[in-house]
Amino acid sequence: MILCAACYNGSRAFVEPEARFIARMFRSVFVLLFALTGVLDARPPNIVLIVGDDVGYGDLGCYGSTLNPTPNIDALARGGLRFTDYHTGGAMCSPTRASMLTGCYPQRFGAEFDGALGERADREVGLPLGAVTVAEKLKEKGYATACFGKWHLGYKPPMVPTRQGFDVFRGLLSGDGDHHTHISRSGQEDWYDGETLAMEEGYTADLLTRH
């Protein structure tokens, strides 16, 4: 799971980003917010985006699943809106992240295959610095940004979250690992505070909630 948060810390009004995809996305979000509240606040809203890793459409209770209890997500759905027509160019973790953060097809960044990314010394691929992320666009408009959880879009600098528009990062850079020891599949320690290895004791979900 990756959780991206953006909090507004300035006084200037939000204007649409240059990227057409990002502009459409945020325009839709703001229209919905204003329609629901009926109040046009000069201060832009805080934004929290929660991404479930490799979650299928039918895995959540709010979309009809009876196999997986997801009460908190279901509660969010009951109090908001459910989208039923979303498409991705790569229905796995890294390609989806690449598309979500940039508004581009994942193939543009060579991230078509999830196995291409990892923490081995010979793995140099990841989301390139030339890709403009929604976090970078938000920072231009006065937002403070943070990313918590699984990154899996590049293990080495300069492809880590803090080089891609996020002020704060806490979590794992690789694709997976033990949720108790924070050791990756290849046996590497993988729990970071920004760009610094910062191993902590505790279950992954508890640590993310704490931070």
| Residue 95, CA distances (Å) to 43, 90, 196 in order | 33, 5, 25
Q: In whole angstroms, what is the distance from residue 199 CA to residue 92 CA? A: 27
**Three-class DSSP labels, the chain:** CEEEEEEECCCCCCCCCCCHHHHHHHHHHHHHHHHHHCCCCCCCCCEEEEECCCCCHHHCHHHCCCCCCCHHHHHHHHCCCCCCCCCCCCCCHHHHHHHHHHCCCHHHHCCCCHHHCCCCCCCCCCCCCCCCCHHHHHHHCCEEEEEEEECCCCCCCCCCHHHCCCCEEEEECCCCECCCCCEECCCCECCEECCEECCCCCCHHHHHHHC
CB count in 10 Å sphere of residue 122: 5
Active centre residues (catalytic): 93, 152
